[in-house]
Amino acid sequence: MGTQSTLITNIGELVTNAGGSQFEALGDAAVVIEDGRVAWTGRARGAPAADEAVDAAGRAVLPGFVDSHAHLVFAGERGVEFAARMAGLPYHAGGIRATVAATRAASDAELGQNLRALAAEMLAQGTTTFECKSGYGLTVADEARSVALAAKITPEVTYLGAHVVPAEFETDPAGYVSLVCGPMLDACAPHARWVDVFCERGAFDADQARAILAAGRAAGLLPRVHANQLGHGPGVQVAVDAGAASADHCTYLSDADVDALAASQTTATLLPGVEFSTRQPYPEARRLIAAGVPVAIATDCNPGSCFSSSMPFCIALAVREMRMTTQEAVWAATAGGARALRRTDVGHLGVGARADLVLLGAPSHAYLAYRPGVPLIAAVWQGGILTWQGGGWRDGARRSGARGGSAPDCSAPDGSAS
C-alpha cells in the first residue's frame, strides 16, 4: 500500500452499498482506507495490515450521509412562524420573503458564519457531502454572493434564483424570470453546479420553470427541481422532461408522475423533515419504491419549512412515518443522495470510493431509527481524515499503530485514553 493507511477493524456491521442499487452490509468486518479512498473491505480476520489501526469495538460503520437538498445561506430565523403553524396556521411559500429580507440585510461575514455553523452541525450528525442552494438573496448581487459563499464549503452548489418572485417584482413576474435567466444566471453560474426551480403554485409555473432550467443548462448547470410539495402540479413532469437529476419533495404525486419518474433517470428526493415541520402528509415512499423509483432522503434544512440539519432524524422519520425499512432509509440517505447528485464516489464504501465514513455508537444501522433523537455519531472520516469525534468515540474505538511503532491514541477530544 502507498503512503498512510488506516485499518478500521472489529466492525460489527459495515454498510458498503457496494452494489450501488441497494443496501449492502457485511458483519465482522474491516475496512482499509488509503490516500483518501477505500482500499479494501472484507471480513476482519482477513484484513491486511496498515499504518494505523482503529478498533471499532463491534460498532457499525456506514458511508457518510449525503444530504442532497439544503438551503444554508440565509440570515435570521422563523421560530414565530413555526409556532403559529403548530397552533394551526398553514405553511405557505410566502414566508420565504421574510428570510430574503433578513439575508439581504446581512453582511457577508454573518452569512458565512451561519453557513459554517450549519455545516459543522451537519458533520457532527454524520453528513460528509451536502448540497447547498442560494435562493434567499433574489437580487443579482445577493444571489451571486450566496453561491460564492456556498462554493467555499461544498462543490454541490445550486443556483436557486427561482425560489419565489421577490416583492419588488410582484407585478412583473416575467421581468423577474428574465433576470433569473439573464444577468443573475451570468453572475451565479461560475460558482454553481446545479440550477433549481421551485415549481409550485405561488412560485413558478411550468413554462417559467422550463425556461429557467433551459437557460441554466445553456450556462453549463445541471437541473434539479422543487416539485409537488404543496399540491399536485407539473413539477415532476417538468423535472423528468428536463432530465433533472432529482425531483425534490414529491409529496403529492399522480399515477402519471410516478410512471414518469419510474421511466426516467430522475431520483425522487423525499424530505420528511418538511412534512414533520409543516404538519403535512408524508410522501408515499412505498408507492415510489413499489414502482421501482430510486428514492433519496435529504433534510431540506432551511429556516422555514424544516430547520433541521439532521440526516439521522430524517432516517427515523422515513422509517416510522413513511414505512421505509431501516435498510431502505439508510440507502436513501447515502447512496440515494449520491444518485440525486449524480455522484458515484460517495454514498457507498466500495473499493475506490471516497473514504467518507461514519462510526456509529451502536452495533447496527437500525439504531438510527431505533434510538431516534439520540446522538449516535461516534466519529466521522472525510477523504480518509478523521474530522469529527463525538463523546461516544472513547467508549470503544481506540487507535494504535499496527504496522510497527505506535500511533497516538486520540480516543477522546482531550487526548485522554479510553
Residue 287 neighbours by CB under 8 Å, 6+ apart: 253, 258
For residue 274, the minimal CB distance to ligand NIG (Å) is: 5
Which single residue brings its beta carbon nearest to Fe ion?
Answer: 300
Q: What whole-number distance in Å separates Cα of residue 303 and Cα of residue 312? A: 19
Name the amino acid, one letter, at 93: A
Question: Which position among 229, 246, 310, 334 is part of the footprint of ligand NIG (CB under 6 A)?
Answer: 229
Q: Smaller CB distance to ligand NIG: residue 59 or 78?
A: 78
Residue 290: Cβ within 10 Å count: 11
Residue 27 neighbours by CB under 8 Å, 6+ apart: 12, 13, 14
340-379 residues in contact with ligand NIG (CB under 6 A) are none
For residue 346, the minimal CB distance to ligand NIG (Å) is: 22
| Numbers of helices and strands, H then E, in the chain | 15, 17
Q: What whole-number distance in Å separates Cα of residue 360 and Cα of residue 383? A: 18
Total residues at the site for ligand NIG (CB under 6 A)?
A: 13
Residue 338 neighbours by CB under 8 Å, 6+ apart: 66, 68, 129, 344, 345, 346, 347, 348
Question: Which position among 10, 99, 266, 309 is part of the footprint of ligand NIG (CB under 6 A)?
Answer: 99
For residue 98, the minimal CB distance to ligand NIG (Å) is: 8
Does residue 95 touch ligand NIG according to CB under 6 A? yes
For residue 78, the minimal CB distance to ligand NIG (Å) is: 7
Residue 45 neighbours by CB under 8 Å, 6+ apart: 28
The site string for Fe ion over 314-343 (x = CB under 5 A, - otherwise) reads ------------------------------
Question: Which position among 96, 185, 188, 318 is part of the footprint of ligand NIG (CB under 6 A)?
Answer: 96
The site string for ligand NIG over 296-325 (x = CB under 6 A, - otherwise) reads ----x-xxxx--------------------
Q: Smaller CB distance to ligand NIG: residue 152 or 201?
A: 201
For residue 67, the minimal CB distance to Fe ion (Å) is: 11
Q: What are the phi and psi torsion angles at 398 (to 5°)?
A: -145, 150
Distance of CA 45 to the CA centre of its chain: 34
Give CA separation, 333 vs 32, 200, 308, 329, in Å. 23, 25, 15, 6
Q: Select from 21, 73, 36 the least CA-distant residue to 301.
A: 73
187-216 residues in contact with ligand NIG (CB under 6 A) are 198
Distance of CA 227 to the CA centre of its chain: 17
Q: Smaller CB distance to ligand NIG: residue 224 or 365?
A: 224
The DSSP output letter for 99 is H
Q: At what angle do helices 140-151 and 96-105 cross, to 10 degrees?
A: 80
For residue 132, the minimal CB distance to Fe ion (Å) is: 11
For residue 177, the minimal CB distance to Fe ion (Å) is: 19
Give first-to-last CA distance, the chain, whole Å: 29
145-174 residues in contact with Fe ion (CB under 5 A) are none
Does residue 200 touch Fe ion according to CB under 5 A? no
- The stretch near ligand NIG (CB under 6 A) out of 27-35, 279-287, 295-303, 331-339 is 295-303
Q: What whole-number distance in Å separates Cα of residue 327 and Cα of residue 329? A: 5
Strand partners, 400: 53
- The stretch near ligand NIG (CB under 6 A) out of 93-101, 106-114, 289-297, 362-370 is 93-101
Query: Binds 95, which of Fe ion, ligand NIG, none (CB < 5 to 8 A, cut-off by type)?
Result: ligand NIG
The site string for Fe ion over 271-300 (x = CB under 5 A, - otherwise) reads -----------------------------x
Q: Smaller CB distance to ligand NIG: residue 92 or 342?
A: 92
For residue 13, the minimal CB distance to ligand NIG (Å) is: 33
For residue 261, the minimal CB distance to ligand NIG (Å) is: 18
Q: Select from 306, 358, 303 the least CA-distant residue to 333.
A: 358
Total residues at the site for Fe ion (CB under 5 A)?
A: 1
Which single residue brings its beta carbon nearest to ligand NIG?
Answer: 304
Residue 273 neighbours by CB under 8 Å, 6+ apart: 299, 300, 301, 306, 308, 310, 313, 314, 317
Q: Smaller CB distance to Fe ion: residue 303 or 361?
A: 303
| Chain residues in the site for ligand NIG (CB under 6 A) | 71, 95-96, 99, 198, 226, 229, 274, 300, 302-305
| Chain residues in the site for Fe ion (CB under 5 A) | 300
